[in-house]
Structure 1
């Protein structure tokens, strides 16, 4: 019986290499979730929109060409529609082509273009951050499903162990070798094992449904075999805070936000700088008032200059206001740096501690298996009580649960670290 228990435990925890040949890997599941994610698709469309907005902002440098037309009718002089030259007519009309070109806008155009580019970059970084979140979510769902399946297998194994002991005790009771008390005790444990299996089956079903929904499949679709929860993950490389900061999209966003705030400050200050525009227009138009003369082609070249003189200190107040906004973004960068540092420290600690947890849980399971085998053998030889057997069974199932939880914690620690370093 000892060899059977050990073999089942090895299968459960993924230590049997043959059980790992066919499965949907974590990386494959990541790709399926990424391909389906509606949130990621929305963010990519947002990035597309901001890219177009940046292109639109650039058109501010280019000349604008407009076709303009206008007509009027004096309703009090309806009978003066036509007449000889030099006589008043009640209607006027004109058609003009206007070409306008801003020459100097006080830095507003350049600032607006920089703001648009910053928004585009921020949306690209948000897309990257969304991708990191999706990867972490897919890893979490994947390993929770794997743990739920391991829990179901453990519950089935426990139910089988109790059932084997039940058959032995039932045979002995029928032979009159033991009292009914032992049979009732093992029967109670049998029902507890059955209840544990039902709960584990429910947890497994719910976990698989969530796994399917996240990658856009029917909740009850057949799931490919998953990596066993006890499989050894590839070792991760510890990174310094400086290395992590260069990889994190949220930290890069703080730099872009500072640049954007500087551009917004320049855009706000541009209204206090001189403005210079040029335009060329040409077309045909009646006089105002229209006296019936022949229409003349009238090309016009115009220049417009605006120089703000007195704003009662608004320029300096605006400058101080905008500098305060820039300062806020710089402080936000410092805050994000501290937050990432905290995340990195916690992730590294979890990687270390969960490794110790797995090792201790494996040792505990080995002891629990030995205790169960010894208690069962001693009881069958009449040298131990049923209480000893039940206690050993309970210790064994708790050890199995602890090991599964330890493996899950270790997998989640790796997933969290990969999220922290944006992998």
Structure 2
């Protein structure tokens, strides 16, 4: 029976462990890129840019138009009056025709044309020269697709950094939970010791109350920590696009560190690889293309075409007629140049503005990379200092515990030493999670 119970218990524990969903940092990032609303929208923006590119490319093709018209008039659109009279009778000899002495009378008549008409029309126009408008429009569409792809990279970086911060926030709260649990165990043990001493009359009741008050404070901290963990997990689930499940657990990889120097790169070498910098360059290029397109509005345009039509009056004895023609068209804007010159000057000024923005932003991007590197180094140094402080806090607690047992210090000193250790542990956890996100941030701002 005992063996059966142990087997059943092991199976239940296995099922419970299997039911828990565990997330790693890489898995969380993968889910965020797949499910997050912003990343989905950025992918749709790329699809829309591809469609725009395909639509603009069709401007190279001929423009074909066709139409058909049917008409029934109340009265004929064209009326003709033919007068009657005597017509010479022709005997077959052309010599007798001028001196004919026999005549046939032909009465007058009225003809009506276009009483009902059907007309079909087809026109094909091939643009030959449009001042560079079509060519530059296609370049702009290509550039727009490139911009959307780089914007997607920026959005992905933002989502990945957000995911990592939220992930490490949960890890930090779980580490603080462990520290708090150890603190609670310490106070429980201390409470039993102090309670026994109070019952034996060794200490006064005030010392027992100090421990009780500290236990009550930790209960409040426990409630706040539990609520904080729930909200942090809900936020992570929303970011990575999965349903909230309170049984989800995240893998703790907090102590896996590398030296900051392993991530260092020269700012000048990686500036051009940053998506933000490339977008600024694309902005300058787009401004230049827009100036060219604006200039093409004031250039002559040339096209060649082919037109054909078929017309039928739907009357007895009359057949439909087909005709067609080849033609060329040239359009030269003249009066548009009066205001166009100022429009082009405006476009060139705006082009210079984008160049100035690029130069100014280059300095800001360099400053951003330098700050990210400084933050990474400072956080690493902070971890080292806090670890040293934690060693001192542990030693201080050990000395205070021995001194309290020997009656050399008061209970408040021991409680203060234990609180110092817990506070130092929390600070170390926060520094480690900050370092993790600082690494990711530095990699991103250096285009990696």
Aligned to 2:7: none
The aligned length equals 396
Aligned to 1:262: 288
Contact 1:281/1:300 (CA < 8 Å) preserved in 2?
Answer: yes
Contact 1:65/1:99 (CA < 8 Å) preserved in 2?
Answer: yes
Counterparts in 2 of 1:168 and 1:228: CA distance versus 1, 3 Å: farther
Contact 1:24/1:227 (CA < 8 Å) preserved in 2?
Answer: no
Contact 2:76/2:113 (CA < 8 Å) preserved in 1?
Answer: no
Contact 1:85/1:292 (CA < 8 Å) preserved in 2?
Answer: no
Aligned to 1:226: 251
Aligned to 2:4: none
SS at match of 2:306: strand
Tell me which moved more, 298-307 or 327-336: 327-336
| TM superposition shift of 1:92 | 3.1
1:147-178 CA-to-partner distances (Å, cap 9, x unmatched) read 11111111111111111111111111122222
Partners in 1 of 2:153 and 2:30 — Cα distance? Answer: 15
Contact 1:133/1:419 (CA < 8 Å) preserved in 2?
Answer: no
Contact 2:172/2:430 (CA < 8 Å) preserved in 1?
Answer: yes
Q: Please, which of 229, 238, 247 is the counterpart of residue 204 of structure 1? A: 229
Contact 1:166/1:186 (CA < 8 Å) preserved in 2?
Answer: yes
Partners in 1 of 2:70 and 2:131 — Cα distance? Answer: 36
Partners in 2 of 1:146 and 1:267 — Cα distance? Answer: 54
Partners in 1 of 2:356 and 2:318 — Cα distance? Answer: 69
Aligned 1:109-128 pairs, distance under 5 A: 109-128=134-153
1:358 equivalent to 2:383? Answer yes
Partners in 2 of 1:181 and 1:323 — Cα distance? Answer: 82
Contact 1:150/1:228 (CA < 8 Å) preserved in 2?
Answer: no
| TM superposition shift of 1:312 | 5.3
SS at match of 1:87: strand
Aligned to 2:321: 296
SS at match of 2:123: strand
Partners in 2 of 1:118 and 1:52 — Cα distance? Answer: 13
Partners in 1 of 2:366 and 2:397 — Cα distance? Answer: 46
Contact 1:166/1:190 (CA < 8 Å) preserved in 2?
Answer: no
| Segments ≥4 residues shifted beyond 4 Å | 75-78, 233-236, 290-293
Partners in 2 of 1:408 and 1:62 — Cα distance? Answer: 58
1:284 equivalent to 2:345? Answer no
Partners in 1 of 2:272 and 2:141 — Cα distance? Answer: 23
1:89-132 CA-to-partner distances (Å, cap 9, x unmatched) read 33333112221101111111112111211211111111111111
| TM superposition shift of 1:294 | 3.3
Q: Please, which of 347, 360, 365 is the counterpart of residue 335 of structure 1? A: 360
Aligned to 1:367: 392
| TM superposition shift of 1:197 | 2.1
Contact 2:271/2:447 (CA < 8 Å) preserved in 1?
Answer: no
Partners in 2 of 1:44 and 1:145 — Cα distance? Answer: 29
Q: Output the TM-score relative to the length of structure 1.
A: 0.87
Aligned to 1:5: none
SS at match of 1:382: coil
Q: Which has the higher contact order (CA 8 A, sep 6+)?
A: 1
Aligned to 2:155: 130
Contact 2:36/2:239 (CA < 8 Å) preserved in 1?
Answer: yes
Aligned to 1:8: none
Partners in 1 of 2:213 and 2:398 — Cα distance? Answer: 20
More strand as a share of residues: 2
Tell me which moved more, 225-234 or 409-418: 225-234
Aligned to 1:247: 273
Q: Please, which of 350, 353, 357 is the counterpart of residue 325 of structure 1? A: 350
Q: How large is the RMSD of aligned CA atoms in angstroms?
A: 2.4
Q: Output the TM-score relative to the length of structure 2.
A: 0.83
SS at match of 1:128: helix
1:238 equivalent to 2:264? Answer yes
Contact 1:86/1:292 (CA < 8 Å) preserved in 2?
Answer: no
Counterparts in 2 of 1:76 and 1:295: CA distance versus 1, 3 Å: closer
Aligned to 2:128: 103
